[in-house]
Amino acid sequence: MESIEEGGRPGSWARVERWVLRLLALTNRLRLPGPSVLPVAGALVGLYSGLAAGLFANLIGLVSGMALGFPRLLDALDAHSPTRAALREAFAEARWEFEFLVVGIPLGLIALVLSRLIMPGGPRSQVKRRLEVLGLLVLGALSLYYPLVALAATNSVLGHLHDVGREVRHLSPWWVMLLPMLGGMLVGRVLRDRPETHGHGVPEVVKAVEREGRLPGRDGVLKLVASAITIGTGGSAGREGPIVFGGAAFGSEVGRTLGFTRRELAILLASGAGAGISASFNAPIAGALFAMEIILREFQLRVFSPIILASVTATLVGRGVMGSAPMVRRVAYSMVSGWEIVFYALLGLVTGLLAYAFIRSLHGVETFFHGQGRGRWSVRVGRLPLFVKAGLGGLVVGGLALVHPVVWGTGHESINDAAVRALSVSLLASGCVLKLVATAITLGSGGSGGTFFPMTVMGALAGGAFGEVMHAALPGITAPSGAYAMVGMGGAVAALTRGPLTGLMMVYELSGNYAIILPLMVTCTIASALCHALVERRAGVDPATLGRLPVDALVAWVEPVEPGAWAPEVRERLLVSLEKALPVRDAAGTLLGVVSASALEAREFRANRGTVEGWVRQVPAISVETSVGEALRAMDAHEVDALPVRGEGRVGVVTRAGLLRFLQRERRIRQKEPPFSPTELPR
């Protein structure tokens, strides 16, 4: 019999374990850098975000197929029908990507075997658990990928993944009006007990990053299902918001399961959000920029690796499930004359105003359906159950879909119509206005979906109309309107998100034409700056009000640290601190300044085994009577994001993020708007 050594393990297992431990000890002696778990976790988050994007797109197609093309399903049951033959052809041409099995199965099994070799106890328990979870996640992703490919092949024949708006023209007008209403009522029922799943996806992710990096996975699943129902039944909404929310929620769940810190949770959450954009638009660079520019709002080397790997894996999986065909037809572009830069600058003004009009319209509809609008009708509607309000909104959207098919669903086929000049100026302009109104009503009344994708449609239509007018007036010095439609799409996205790099890179990846970069840079920059200025101008708080608001209620009273405190202990406190800053007080009781979480990013601080004395930002302390405005000005003067506060027998800290959130909330309350808006991303 095989001998049993200590711990009850067979001798062969013990020998293998000793060999592995000796190899690890040798690498440590040679000072070889070990792989970080965070990039690996980012790649896994991207893997599941790509699967979620594929599942979501096919859920929309499934709902649309059931609502609009049920006869095709019956026809497929006939063994001699052309539909059945088309199904066989679709399965033969599907991208099964069997190389994923060749790579994924060994990786998953190796991780599981290594987790079995590591003995539990001490720090090794965390390594053992992480390897086990990573191995199971890899194998789980493979088990989900191939059923999704089969579903996508089926949907390509039976469902309506493309050109849904054109199908509406052949339906009964009553069915066109009733279907969005029924979808809205169903969504209202699904979400009635989960208010945290309301909103449009992206702002909720930003707020989660600012808080603790926590998003429940169940909320992500509910968001995907509710949004698929909304869009599949004709509601005017985008699919990127739910995917961003779902990817971020999965990233949060993975991070918590693997025992990551709050900072690492936020990075994984952003990785999932960016991966959702990458898979949805087949644009990995734009997805990575979206995660860094809009979700995290920072470009640091530590966040780069997991976000890039997440975007790459999500794009690969998304292409396998949804295909690699470009979402937008490639438009040939060349700058006819230097005057066009001026016209693209004007287009930036147009798309900036368009995005601002959409934000205001959505706020107005939300206010009305929340019962906070002017007039008695708003009060009456606000008292109705959520499913009734969402149903009323769907009924109005169905009526608008009878006027213009762009209203139905995402409306992305209209982007191609604008790019190839298939629509007249009147249809382009009217479609832009109706899409704006329909999206505001769909989401403001209680429907579920995103704002990012509808804004691309509006931008393409507005850009196409602008280009048609300019080309008709000045044909000798302007390009055809298709290029203006593409650039308008980027400008609208940049204005809505206040992320010019994201809008620029997304359109560049979709167009595949480097020559379009220059006009994109001009339009996206101007559109983003204009919309940001308009939003901030309306959100401005009277300086006199700033002078009257003390920071007393905004102070976090915490135990201060001493300059001689041990750095690893302070680092642990900062990692779990909501304020990400701690006041520093010497033995004489004098407040010296603050030590903030920004120091954690420095490699020297992480390796520091001494005191924190050299990492203290020496700034003057303020009192509880100091106004919010004075505190913000002091932070600007000393280039810090936190200040120590003196109280009666206690000390605390106040942060820039907390002050700005307070001002934003006060402004909304005073203007009788919803306290938390799902479109204005906090800055």
Q: What is the pLDDT of residues 299-317, one digit of tens each?
A: 777 788 899 999 999 999 9
β 581-585/651-655 pair status: unpaired
pLDDT at 641 over 50: yes
Q: Dump pLDDT digits (tens) for 80-100.
A: 556 667 777 777 777 777 777
> Is 559 exposed, middle or buried (CB count within 10 Å of its CB: 0-12, 13-18, 19+)?
exposed
Separation CA 110–CA 123 (nearest Å): 20
Separation CA 389–CA 448 (nearest Å): 13
| pLDDT score recorded for residue 3 | 45
Name the band, by pLDDT with cuts 50, 70 and 90, for residue 210: low
| Dihedral sign for Cα atoms in the order 570, 575, 577, 580 | positive
User: Which is more confident, 558 or 490?
Assistant: 490
For residues 463-490, give the mean pLDDT: 89
At 55, which amino acid appears? L
pLDDT exceeding 90 applies to what percent of the chain?
17
Q: Please give the structure tokens belonging to residue 86.
A: 């088309």
User: Residue 541 contacts by C-beta under 8 Å, 6 or more apart in sequence?
Assistant: 663, 666, 667
For residues 204-222, give the mean pLDDT: 76
Query: What's the CATH number for 546-670?
Result: 3.10.580.10
| Rg (alpha carbons) of the chain, rounded to whole number | 27
pLDDT at 233 over 60: yes
User: Which is more confident, 179 or 70?
Assistant: 179
Of the candidates 663, 662, 620, 667, the residue with the CA atom closest to the CA atom of residue 642: 620
CB 142 within 8 A of CB 104: yes
CA angle at 448 for the pair 444 and 454, rounded to the nearest 5°: 75
Q: Dump pLDDT digits (tens) for 599-611.
A: 655 555 556 566 7
| pLDDT score recorded for residue 673 | 46
Of the candidates 274, 277, 270, 275, the residue with the CA atom closest to the CA atom of residue 255: 270
pLDDT at 678 over 60: no
CB 295 within 8 A of CB 207: no
Separation CA 487–CA 517 (nearest Å): 9
Residue 127: C-alpha distances to residues 30, 104, 120, 139 (Å): 21, 20, 9, 19
Domain with CATH 1.10.3080.10 in the chain: 340-539
CB 244 within 8 A of CB 207: no
CA angle at 20 for the pair 15 and 24, rounded to the nearest 5°: 145
pLDDT at 137 over 90: no
* Phi, psi for 293 (deg, rounded to 5): -80, -35
Q: Dump pLDDT digits (tens) for 542-592.
A: 545 555 678 877 788 888 888 888 777 777 777 656 667 888 888 888 888
pLDDT exceeding 70 applies to what percent of the chain?
79
Range with the poorest average pLDDT among 151-165, 184-198, 512-526: 151-165
Q: Dump pLDDT digits (tens) for 367-379.
A: 888 776 677 777 7
β 581-585/556-557 pair status: unpaired
For residues 629-635, give the mean pLDDT: 83
Domain with CATH 3.10.580.10 in the chain: 546-670
* Phi, psi for 557 (deg, rounded to 5): -85, 115
DSSP letters, 322-346, are H-SS-SS---------TTHHHHHHH
| pLDDT score recorded for residue 117 | 66
DSSP letters, 540-566, are ---HHHHHH-BSGGG-EE---B-TTSB
| pLDDT score recorded for residue 575 | 63
Q: Does an H or E element contain 369, and which?
A: helix 340-369
| pLDDT score recorded for residue 669 | 55
CB 467 within 8 A of CB 480: yes
Name the band, by pLDDT with cuts 50, 70 and 90, for residue 196: low
**Residue 32 gets which letter from DSSP?**
P
| pLDDT score recorded for residue 608 | 58
| pLDDT score recorded for residue 382 | 78
User: Residue 396 contacts by C-beta under 8 Å, 6 or more apart in sequence?
Assistant: 438, 441
CATH class of 340-539: mainly alpha
Q: Mean pLDDT over all residues of the chain?
A: 78
User: Which is more confident, 603 or 437?
Assistant: 437
